[in-house]
Chain A
Amino acid sequence: MHETTDAEPIPASGAAMNAAAALETASAPLTESARPVAATIEAFLASVERRAWRVAEIALRDSDEALDAVQDTMLRLVRHYSAKPAEEWSPLFWGILRRRITDLQRRRTVRNRILVWTGRATNDDDEELPAWEAPDLGPDPSRALASRQAHAAMSKAIRALPHRQQQAFMLRMLEGLDVADTAKAMGCSAGSVKTHLSRAMDALRTRLEEWR
């Protein structure tokens, strides 16, 4: 998977930079500053835990591993950064989660290589394993099913992106962090965030029909 370095901003074309600027404005209503700042660390975690789990699930393709990643992230945030101002919790949390996801992905890669050497590898990259799901007791099961299918299609489209574009899209578009916080969470410059996001949007635009 292609991953660009964070040390210097990626040289981008004029169109890409214009697109980045456009995205900057288009996503303004969902910026983190629009959300109320949590008073306590527990309230912050309660407000972010489901989104964090979904983001980790998209990146890791495994609900249980996503839960582990979110739990580790919560522990690290509370242990090391709970004394920080509440405004800094969000970029710190997402930065920790991003690194945790990267660690788990690398570990999985190593494990798969070992399994290939030992001849016990299974190719599950292109197929979704059947998973147990709780019975839907909601008022409109067909609508819930459509939502799940749309989420699965969107997750598949996001997973097809390069790693850094995935991160930029999920942090910036789905979680709604502003550019500065996204850059802090990704450990790169604001220019890199805009470029990654612009390229991610270019790739996802062609897949929009699959989400409908």
Chain B
Amino acid sequence: MSKLHENTVNDMPGDDEVASRARAIFRTACEQADSYHTLRLGLARRKAVNAGSAHRALKVWAPLAGAAACCALVVGVVWLQHPADRLQPSSPIAAATPASSNPGGLNQGDADEAIPDVASNQMEVVQDLDFYRWLAAQPAMASAAPVGSRR
């Protein structure tokens, strides 16, 4: 026992004895823990370590998944807010509606309105678009033709 330690014990008689006795009892109690509780402590430790691994993996992947979901959401919103942009002038439908082939007096805006939404269930209308244009032009042609020419 060191000199300092002896002085300490002399200053506080009984404290060192209390401390050492308490430690000894506590150490013995820890060593004599029954197998049931020892087993459960080991299981709890393994569970904590495994949960920590899963938590770390989640911490890595959750931000990436969140960013991907946000990107998909933004793209979807932009897509839904600009449906007219989906019909490019180079598309076959738009190319089939030139201004010169509009003898019925429809301007370009009317033609755009007349073109059905591709996303809707009106594909039959699109397929018969030439017929409907011809049909729309018929009264104008009939009124413009002279009466005697039919005979």
B15: CB under 8 A from chain A?
Answer: yes
Task: Name the interface size band of chain B.
Answer: 35 or more
CB distance from B136 to the nearest CB of A (A): 71
A41 touches which one: B12, B41, B49 (CB < 8 A)? B49
B145: CB under 8 A from chain A?
Answer: no
Residues of A within 8 A of B5 (CB): 25-26
Asked whether, in the complex, the Cβ of B45 is within 8 Å of the Cβ of A49, the reply is: yes
B131: CB under 8 A from chain A?
Answer: no
Asked whether, in the complex, the Cβ of B51 is within 8 Å of the Cβ of A19, the reply is: no
The interface of chain B, by Cβ under 8 A from chain A, is 4-5, 8-9, 11-12, 14-19, 21-23, 25-26, 28-38, 40-42, 44-45, 47-49, 51-52, 55-56
Contacts known (A49-B41, A173-B22, A211-B21); A134 close to B34, Cβ less than 8 A: yes
CB distance from B38 to the nearest CB of A (A): 7
Asked whether, in the complex, the Cβ of A18 is within 8 Å of the Cβ of B17, the reply is: no
A22 touches which one: B8, B36, B41, B47 (CB < 8 A)? B8
The interface of chain A, by Cβ under 8 A from chain B, is 18-19, 22-23, 25-27, 30, 41-42, 45-46, 49-51, 53-54, 63, 67, 70-71, 74-75, 77-79, 82, 133-134, 138, 144, 147-148, 150-151, 154, 169, 173-174, 176, 201, 204-205, 208, 211-212
Residues of A within 8 A of B37 (CB): 53, 63, 67
CB distance from B36 to the nearest CB of A (A): 6
Supplied contacts A173-B19, A176-B23, A208-B17, 11 more A-B pairs, CB within 8 Å:
A19-B11, A23-B12, A25-B8, A26-B12, A49-B44, A63-B37, A82-B56, A134-B34, A173-B22, A201-B19, A211-B25
CB distance from A132 to the nearest CB of B (A): 9
Interface of B is mostly: helix
Asked whether, in the complex, the Cβ of B19 is within 8 Å of the Cβ of A23, the reply is: yes
B14 touches which one: A25, A75, A205 (CB < 8 A)? A205
Asked whether, in the complex, the Cβ of A50 is within 8 Å of the Cβ of B22, the reply is: no
- CA–CA, A10 and B29, complex, Å: 33
Contacts known (A22-B11, A173-B23); A53 close to B33, Cβ less than 8 A: yes
